[in-house]
Chain A
Amino acid sequence: EVQLVESGGGVVRPGGSLRLSCAASGFTFDDYGMSWVRQAPGKGLEWVSGINWNGGSTGYADSVKGRFTISRDNAKNSLYLQMNSLRAEDTALYHCARTMVRSGSYLDAFDIWGQGTMVTVSS
């Protein structure tokens, strides 16, 4: 079964750090670009960051540029998001998502999504 499972969320104080992980299974992970998409409580979807199939190309939303870092370990079938200098407005459910095009960019339609991991930034 093709699956993405996120972990690493939790409660953190403003200015703190957190590292999210996304474990992929059921497909050849290093064939696909991947992204993180978040959803604040009661709000819409926001693309956060993406990485292409080999890690050679990354992109970030303006709202997180310079604070978040995306990476992947193809040997471990895993995607990561290092989040530093966290703010209250980063509070959201963070989903990892797979692009539907093999060996492509990090940005495409997303055909596989994880259920998400919740990040709460609060003092």
Chain B
Amino acid sequence: DIQMTQSPSTLSASVGDRVTITCRASQSISSWLAWYQQKPGKAPKLLIYKASSLESGVPSRFSGSGSGTEFTLTISSLQPDDFATYYCQQYNSYLGTFGQGTKVEIK
């Protein structure tokens, strides 16, 4: 099974900061990777699919990059609404796998 490892687990940042979250796959998943944002008590929200494609309606400050085994989610200028937990998910194999999550906290 493919394992997904996110880093860091927690990130403290200020409004306006550039934030980068990394997701590593235990084997190559090509570009079959998605990123989600989840706020407490809410369902996850799709941000990025196919590693770098921005979901409709998602602000352009969010971007994704990478292929193979290493991927990044970047928030170019952190906004108050962005404090949340972020998950990566691979969909290359016949079993889905999520990363363990990265909580973005207010510094």
Real binding pair:
yes
Which of B91, B93, B97 has the most A CB atoms < 10 Å from its CB? B91
Q: Which of A35, A45, A95 is the one whose CB lies under 8 Å from B87? A: A45
Residue of A nearest to B101 (CB): A44
B71 at the interface (CB under 8 A from A): no
- Chain A contact residues, CB within 8 Å of chain B: 35, 37, 44-47, 50, 59-62, 95, 100, 107-111, 113-116
B34 lies within 8 A of chain A by Cβ: yes
| Given known A-B contacts A44-B87, A115-B43, A110 and B98 have beta carbons under 8 A apart | no
Chain B: interface residue total (CB-CB under 8 A): 24
- A to B CB contacts below 8 Å, 5 in the list: A44-B101, A47-B96, A59-B94, A61-B95, A109-B49
Known: A107-B91, A109-B34, A111-B55. A35 touches B46 (CB 8 A): no
Q: Return the contact of A100 from the options B45, B49, B99 (Cβ within 8 A).
A: B49
Which residues on B sit within 8 Å (CB–CB) of A95? 43-44
Q: How far is the CA of A113 from the CA of B38 in the complex (A)?
A: 11
CB distance from B58 to the nearest CB of A (A): 11
Partner of A45, one of B1, B46, B94, B101: B101
In the assembled complex, the Cα of A95 lies from the Cα of B89 at a distance in Å of 15
- A107 and B96 in contact (CB under 8 A), knowing A113-B43, A116-B43? yes
CA A111 to CA B35, docked complex, whole Å: 11
Establish whether residues B96 and A35, one from each chain, have CB atoms under 8 Å apart when the complex forms. Answer: yes
